[in-house]
């Protein structure tokens, strides 16, 4: 049995491809899975609600990727807004 995670393929500058990683489940518990993630054991919670590092199906992994990217956009928009406000304040001080 495997867990899946989707990430952008960082080997190209175009970022046009997505990469699906497969992680081997070494143990299952009532609450989650122990999986080998980059040569280390990591605990992944079961369930479809909330965020997860990896998912039991490729479809859920794609949905998780979309949620991560939507959250990244939200965070970046807030940072841009704060940066623009900072520039506005600094320009007003110069005048």
pLDDT tier at 95, thresholds 50, 70, 90: confident
Task: List, for residues 8-61, the tens digit of each pLDDT value.
Answer: 877 767 667 888 999 999 999 999 999 999 889 999 998 767 678 999 999 999
For residue 45, count other CB atoms closer than 10 A to its CB: 13
pTM here is: 0.81
pLDDT of amino acid 48: 65
- 56 close to 44: Cβ distance less than 8 angstroms: no
Looking at the structure of the chain, the number of domains it has is 1
Cα torsion angle, 86, 89, 93, 95, sign: positive
Domain that residue 15 falls in: 2-94
């Amino acid at each position: 049995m495997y867990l899946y995670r989707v990430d952008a393929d960082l080997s190209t500058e175009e970022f046009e491809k997505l990469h699906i990683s497969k992680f081997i489940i070494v143990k299952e518990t009532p609450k989650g899975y122990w999986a080998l993630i980059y040569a280390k054991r990591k605990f992944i919670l079961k369930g479809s609600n909330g965020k997860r590092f990896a998912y039991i199906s490729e479809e859920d992994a794609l949905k998780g990727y979309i949620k991560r990217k939507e959250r990244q956009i939200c965070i970046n928009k807030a940072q841009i807004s704060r940066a623009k406000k900072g520039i506005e304040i600094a320009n007003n001080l110069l005048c």
